[in-house]
Structure 1
Amino acid sequence: MAVINPNATLTFTVRRCAPELIVPAKPTPRELKPLSDIDDQERFRLQIPDIFIYQRDPKMVNKNPASVIREALAKLLVFYYPLAGRLKEGPAGKLMVDCSGKGVLFIEAEADVTVDQFGDPLGPPFPCMEELLYDVPGTGGIVDSPVLLIQVTRLLCGGFIFATRLNHTMCDAVGLVQFLSGLGEIARGATSPSVLPVWQRELLCSSDRPPMTFTRQVGYTKDDMVHKSLFFTKTDISAFRRLVPTHLQSCSTFEVLTACLWRCRTIALEPNPKEEMPILWPVNARKMFNPPLPVGYYGNVLAFPAAISTAQDLCNKPLGYALELMKKAKSDATKERIKSVSDLMAFKGQLHFTAIRRYNVADLTHVGFNTVDFGWGKPVYGGAARTRVGVSFYVPYTNNKGESRTVIPVCFPSGVTMDRFVEELNNMLAQAKNDMEHELPAPSKL
C-alpha cells in the first residue's frame, strides 16, 4: 500500500475566461418538474466535485477541448434540459426544477503545467484544486443556482483537465456517468446520446413516505482537515485476503478493503470502547425495483446498507467479524425486491451518529468514471476530486506502467489521527504479507 499526498508542493498559474452559461442548442419545454422523494433528502443537498485528467492525443492537436465540449454540451442539454434549470423549494421543503433553460455554468481556462507534473500515481488531494474548479461566487447554493458547473483547463502538454461540480439532488454517480458518457458521444460526433435520459421522478414519489431525520455534519474548517490518498495493488488485496476466514473467501474486493479500513479507522479515532461505529455504503438499487426502473433514469436510486459494531468489538475481534456484519447488512438490503419508494428509503436508516463516528464509503470502481471519452481517449484519472471527514470513495486507477490500483481518498480532522490510521493499515498489511511468505512452499533442492 502506498500512501500519497500527491505533489502537495506543486504550484501553477491558471488563467480563466469569464464564466458563461451554456443553454440548450434548441428550445426546450418550460415546465416545473418535482424531484423524487429520494432526490430531495437532506443528505443529497450538497455539491459533489469530480475531476478527469486527459493526456495529449496527437490526432487532436488542432482541437480545443473547451470548444469541443462547450458545443457538445449545448446539444446534449436539449435531451437533459432539466440540468439547465434551477431548483426551487416548494411546500414542506419539496424540491422541484424550474426548467427555465438558464444554462449550465461553464469556464474555459489554461494552466502552465503538464499532466506529468501532477505525478504518478494520481489521486486527491490535487494541488490548486480551487483553481481547476473555480467556485464562482454566488453559485454554490442548492436553490436558485446552476445545478452543474464545468471547467475545462488546457495544459501545456496538450492534455486537459475536465472538472465538474454537481448538485447531488439531480443525479447519483450512475446518472452523472450516463450524462458525461452522452456528452462524450456527442463530442465525438454523435447526434444524440446512445442512452436517452428518462426523468419520471414520480416513480420514486410516495404518499406514505416515512419521516426522516438527520444529524447535521460536524463542521471542520479547511485548515483542520488532513487529506491523503491510499493506493492498493492487487498484491495488497491478495494479502488482506489471508486475514479472511475460509468461509468468507468469496467476499468482494470492496468488502475486504472496507472491513480493513473500518477497523483501522476506528482504532485511529480512539473512541469510547462502548461507542457504536456505523459504516454505510450506497448500492445502486435500479434493478432491485420490481419492476426495474427504466433504462436511462438518471436520478438518485440508492439503498444504504449499514453495519454497526461497538468500537471495542471492531478493534479486538478478527477481521472476519467486520466482514460478517457487512455481508449480513448487504444481504438484508438485497434479499427482497423493492416495491415502493418507502422500501428504498427504509434502507437509508435513521442513524443518529456524529459525522466523525459514522463512516460512509462508496465504490466507484465499476461506475464508469474512468471511461468518459471526449475524443482524447480515456482519462488517466477519473473520479472524486476530494473527500470530507467520514467519507471515502473507491476509484479505479492505472499508472503509467499499466498497473491497476484502487485509489481511496481519506480525510481526518487531524494529522495525528491520520498517522495512527496509516500505521494501523500498514501493520495489518505487514502481518498479512508475512503470513503469505510463511505459507510459500520451500524451494526444491537440486
Structure 2
Amino acid sequence: MTSTPTVTKSPPALIPPAGPTPCGTLPLSSIDKTVAGSGFVNLIQVFPPPSVSAARKDQGAVAAVAAMRNGFARALVPYYPVAGRVASSGLAVDCTGEGIWFVEAAASCALADVDGLDCFPLLIPGELLLPGPPPGEKLNHHILMVQATRFTCGGFAVGIRFSHAVFDGHGAAQFLTAAGELARGLKAPSVAPVWDRDAIPEAPSPTPSPGQLTELRLVTQVADISAESIARVKDEFKQAAATCSTRDVCSTFDVVTVMVLKCRTLALASALPDDAEVRMAFAASTRHLLRGVLPTVEGYYGNCVFLACLTRTARAVREATLAEVVGAVREAKEEVPARFAGWMRGVEQYDVPPLDYSTVILSDWSRLGFDEVDYGFGAPGYVFPLNNHVNFVAALNYVRPPAPRRGGIRVVLRCVEEPHAAAFAVELAKFA
C-alpha cells in the first residue's frame, strides 16, 4: 500500500448480560491478588477472510458481528462477574451487571496489505486494533473489552483486553470460547464456569515487592523456532540423560526456553559480565495442584499460576550445553508443587525476582486455547500478544505460528534493548 492504513472506530457500546444476573461483591483469591498489579493483558486474534463473494462478505460481516455481540451477552449470564467491575480496593469484584465495552471498527485495507498482521513492527498501529472505554471511564476497573475490526477482504482482527486480576490466560480463553460457542447457537457453554475464589485460603505470606522499577527501552522482535531444531535438542538431552540415569524426556517448553535464554545471554555479553546473574522466570500452572482445594478445577477461570525461576551466572549459561540448561529448567519446574504448597501454608514466600535487565518473564500461550476460539467465522489463523506498553520488565510469549505454517513455536519477544537486538536476532536465527 502507498498510504498508511486507517481504522475507523464506532463509539464503544456496552454489552450487558442477556438475562438477569446476581448482584453483590465477590472477593478475589489470594492468587489473583499476587498478579493484580500486572494490569491488563492485550491480545489480537486474526481471522482470515472467508472464501465467499464480496456481496456475501458484506452480508456475512454484519451478521457475524451481530452474532458475536449476542454470544458475549449470553456468556455474561453464567459469567456474570465479568459484567461487573473490579472494586476500588482491587481485592474484589462488584457484580454490577453493567456489561463489557464492545467496539466495532473498519480498516481501510485488506489483511494482505498489512502482511496478515504477521510481522513486527506492525504495518498498522497496534493501538488502533485494541478496544477502550469511552472518554472519562477509568480503564483499571474494567474486566474485559472487545474490538472487532473488519478488513476490506472480509477478514477480522479481534482485539481483547482482559484484567489479569480476574483471569489468567487459561481462564480468559475459557470465557472467549464460551462466547464463541453461544455466538454459534449452542444452548450453553461446553464448560460451566466456576468462581469459588473464596475456597482458596489466604496465603499468610504477602507477596514481596519487586523493588524500584527501571524503565527499559525494549524492542519487539519475533522468532520462529523450527520443529526440527526442537527435536534435535530433545535428542541431545535424551543422550545426555542416558549417561547420568535421569529421566530422558523433556518438553518443547523446556527446549525453547533454553534456546531463548542461551541466545539472549550470548547477545548481552557486553551488558552482562560473566559473574552477573541471569534469570528466566515463568508462570507455572497450578490448576492440578488445586484439586481438593477447589470444589472443582474444571471451569475455574481465576488465576492458577505460580512463578518459577531459573537463576544462573551469565558465564554458566554461555558455556553450558543446551542439554545441561534444559536440566536446570526442569529442576525449576519440579520445585513448583512443594513451593506452591509451602506458600499456601505460609512457610514459603512468593518470590518475585528483581525486575531488571537480567530477568526475563516468560508466558506460554501456545496451548491456552486463544487460537481455538470460534465466534462463528472459524478459528483464528494467528493470535499474538500486543503489550508494547509494558517497559518495566523484559518479557516474551510463546504462541503457535500463523496458519498454515504450523509446527514449531513462534516467540514474541520484548526482552532486549536496541543495542542488543541485532545480535539477539542472529543467535535466534540459528534455530529457525
Q: Which of the numbers 344, 351, 374 marks the counterpart of 1:349?
A: 351
Number of the residue aligned with 2:245: none
Number of the residue aligned with 1:305: 308
Structure 1 position 276 matched with structure 2 position 277: yes
Number of the residue aligned with 2:65: 66
Number of the residue aligned with 2:319: 316
> What letter matches 1:411 in structure 2?
R
Q: Which of the numbers 89, 92, 97 marks the counterpart of 2:93?
A: 97
Contact 2:83-2:95 at 8 Å conserved across structures: yes
CA offset digits 1:217-239 (Å, max 9, x no partner)? 4324xxx4321111122123234
> Which whole-Å CA distance do the structure 2 matches of 1:413 and 1:30 have between them?
46
**What is the CA-CA distance between 1:97 and the residue it aligns to?**
0.8
CA offset digits 1:357-404 (Å, max 9, x no partner)? 11111111111111111111110112423455511110012434x543
> What letter matches 1:146 in structure 2?
H
Contact 1:38-1:345 at 8 Å conserved across structures: no
Contact 1:399-1:405 at 8 Å conserved across structures: no
Q: Which of the numbers 327, 331, 334 marks the counterpart of 1:328?
A: 331
Number of the residue aligned with 2:50: 57
Number of the residue aligned with 1:421: 424
> Which whole-Å CA distance do the structure 2 matches of 1:329 and 1:370 have between them?
28
Unaligned runs of 5+ in 2: 242-247
| Equivalent residues in 2 for 1:177-196, closer than 5 Å | 177-196=173-192
Number of the residue aligned with 2:40: 47
Number of the residue aligned with 2:114: 118
Number of the residue aligned with 1:84: 83
**What is the CA-CA distance between 1:104 and the residue it aligns to?**
0.7
> What letter matches 1:106 in structure 2?
F
Which SS does the other structure have where 2:301 is aligned?
coil
> Which whole-Å CA distance do the structure 1 matches of 2:165 and 2:111 have between them?
32
> What letter matches 1:100 in structure 2?
T
Runs of 4+ displaced beyond 6 Å: none
Number of the residue aligned with 1:433: none
**What is the CA-CA distance between 1:69 and the residue it aligns to?**
1.3
**What is the CA-CA distance between 1:348 and the residue it aligns to?**
3.7
Pairwise CA RMSD: 2.7
Which SS does the other structure have where 2:279 is aligned?
strand
Q: Which of the numbers 393, 396, 419 marks the counterpart of 1:392?
A: 396
Q: Which of the numbers 224, 228, 235 marks the counterpart of 2:228?
A: 235
Which SS does the other structure have where 1:41 is aligned?
helix
Cα distance change on mapping 1:244 and 1:174 into 2, 3 Å: same
Number of the residue aligned with 1:261: 260
> Which whole-Å CA distance do the structure 2 matches of 1:232 and 1:262 have between them?
13
Structure 1 position 130 matched with structure 2 position 119: no
Number of the residue aligned with 1:442: none
> Which whole-Å CA distance do the structure 2 matches of 1:280 and 1:257 have between them?
14
Cα distance change on mapping 1:290 and 1:297 into 2, 3 Å: closer
Which SS does the other structure have where 2:412 is aligned?
strand
CA offset digits 1:290-309 (Å, max 9, x no partner)? 42641111000102221110
**What is the CA-CA distance between 1:148 and the residue it aligns to?**
1.2
Contact 2:240-2:323 at 8 Å conserved across structures: no
> Which whole-Å CA distance do the structure 1 matches of 2:428 and 2:378 have between them?
35
CA offset digits 1:128-175 (Å, max 9, x no partner)? 111111444455643xx3221110011111111111011110100110
> Which whole-Å CA distance do the structure 1 matches of 2:36 and 2:94 have between them?
21
Cα distance change on mapping 1:79 and 1:107 into 2, 3 Å: same
> Which whole-Å CA distance do the structure 1 matches of 2:8 and 2:340 have between them?
49
> Which whole-Å CA distance do the structure 2 matches of 1:260 and 1:121 have between them?
25
Cα distance change on mapping 1:102 and 1:305 into 2, 3 Å: same
Contact 2:208-2:350 at 8 Å conserved across structures: no
Structure 1 position 199 matched with structure 2 position 195: yes
> Which whole-Å CA distance do the structure 1 matches of 2:132 and 2:369 have between them?
26
Cα distance change on mapping 1:395 and 1:202 into 2, 3 Å: same
Number of the residue aligned with 1:296: 299
Contact 1:37-1:341 at 8 Å conserved across structures: no
The more displaced of 170-179 and 299-308 is 299-308
Which SS does the other structure have where 1:361 is aligned?
strand
> Which whole-Å CA distance do the structure 2 matches of 1:191 and 1:344 have between them?
43
**What is the CA-CA distance between 1:356 and the residue it aligns to?**
1.9
> Which whole-Å CA distance do the structure 2 matches of 1:68 and 1:10 have between them?
33
Number of the residue aligned with 1:33: 26
> Which whole-Å CA distance do the structure 2 matches of 1:13 and 1:211 have between them?
43
Which SS does the other structure have where 1:265 is aligned?
helix
> What letter matches 1:232 in structure 2?
I
Cα distance change on mapping 1:75 and 1:399 into 2, 3 Å: closer
Contact 2:21-2:77 at 8 Å conserved across structures: yes
CA offset digits 1:332-363 (Å, max 9, x no partner)? 214x5965862599474242x13321111111
What is the total number of aligned residue pairs between the two structures? 411
**What is the CA-CA distance between 1:205 and the residue it aligns to?**
3.2
> What letter matches 1:397 in structure 2?
P
Number of the residue aligned with 2:365: 364
Which SS does the other structure have where 2:214 is aligned?
coil
Structure 1 position 23 matched with structure 2 position 19: no
Which SS does the other structure have where 1:305 is aligned?
strand
Structure 1 position 212 matched with structure 2 position 213: no
Cα distance change on mapping 1:27 and 1:245 into 2, 3 Å: closer
Which SS does the other structure have where 2:175 is aligned?
helix
Contact 2:233-2:322 at 8 Å conserved across structures: no
Tell me the percent identity. Answer: 28
